[in-house]
Amino acid sequence: MANEQEQSMPADTHGAVELGQQGAQPAAANTSTQAGYSGATDAYAQPGHPGAANAYAQPSQAQPGAAGATGQPGELTGPIIRDVDEANFEEIVQISNHLPVIIDLWADWCQPCKQLTPVLEEIVTELDGRVLLAKIDVEANPQLAQIFQAQSIPTVVAIIGGRPVPLFQGAQPKQQVVEIFNELLKVAANAGLTGRIVDQAQSAPKVDPLHEAALAAEDAGDLEGAIAQWHKVLANSPKDEVAKEAIARLKLAQRVKEVGAESGDDSPMARADQAFVDGDADSAFGILLDIIQKAKGSDDDAFEEARTRLLEMFTVLGNADPRVKTARGRLSSLLF
């Protein structure tokens, strides 16, 4: 990393607890200590620290344009907040070739850690995949704590392009952490590390609980139950288009199922339903429009039933379907 890209980072130890002193009081603040990006690698890759030389002795070559698991340039998939141990540590180092990785060194007995970790998680979530948070329990992973030369916790370190960058020690106010992370992102951008990680579990659209009940009934083959559940959705949200489409689709499926049980029903209505289910929407629309034309002014029941079925089919296909647009135009001419 070029010197002009390097920024100074405060390594404030306020609120840090020395390792090996469970229940100890937080260490006094050390505001005079400054740890910059320059020389950060040398600070950790010292002889006597297992794995340090292998992990950090040579700078990794970042591939800012490389495709991640999503197939989008520089985009990876996976949780943006992870518990890391020796088994998956190398994976985290590799991810740092695409975007900054924040290392949170903590222990369960450390009270300042319990204050800081939620702050880190909140900020990382707000950054929406521009950084990854790797949480390392130093009690369970002493080798990793040794690599980072953690003398007290919480200690927060970044990895950029396979290189460690000291950030700070001890619990810090959220705004100060935000400022540090923003500076880190600038340095990463200067190094070409502008990738993003997408947490598909978090980004997946949440299903409405009422929708879940209706969908469960559909999966179970309970058409009547599913229709009833979708009507509950509409009662709660009258403009829910998903519910409207589902009701129309399920009513059609229910009618076709009933007709199949009654062999010999060759009525125009039944033929229209079957044609629609078979994928021939134009034929289905034509049959129902003919019924509407013939029944208008003479058979109100047939007229209304055919019109209702036609509108249900429109709902299933959606107004953008060109077949719906054509049939709706003809229906308008018949009605008005």
- Which of 55-69, 76-90, 190-204 ranks highest by mean pLDDT? 76-90
* 268: CB partners within 8 A, 6+ apart: 287, 288, 290, 291
Same domain, 22 and 105: yes
Candidates 67, 76, 83; CA nearest to 99 is 76
Q: Which of 113, 156, 185, 310 is catalytic?
A: 113
Same domain, 191 and 214: no
pLDDT in tens, 132-153: 999 999 999 999 999 998 889 9
Which of 160, 178, 203 is the last residue in one of the domains?
Answer: 203
Percentage of the chain surpassing pLDDT 70? 74
* Across 203-227, average pLDDT: 83
What is the model's pLDDT at position 336? 79
pTM: 0.49
Our count of domains for the chain comes to: 2
How does strand 81-83 pair with strand 17-18?
Answer: unpaired
Which of 203, 228, 261 is the last residue in one of the domains?
Answer: 203
Q: Which domain holds residue 135?
A: 3-203
Is 113 catalytic? The answer is yes
* 174: CB partners within 8 A, 6+ apart: 119, 122, 123
Lowest mean pLDDT among 33-37, 162-166, 221-225, 287-291: 33-37
What is the model's pLDDT at position 277? 87
Same domain, 141 and 169: yes
Same domain, 17 and 117: yes
pLDDT in tens, 246-299: 999 998 888 887 765 555 567 899 899 989 988 999 999 999 999 999 999 899
Q: Which of 16, 17, 107, 110 is catalytic?
A: 110
Is 77 catalytic? The answer is no
3-state SS assignment for residue 198: strand
Candidates 254, 322, 245, 330; CA nearest to 288 is 330
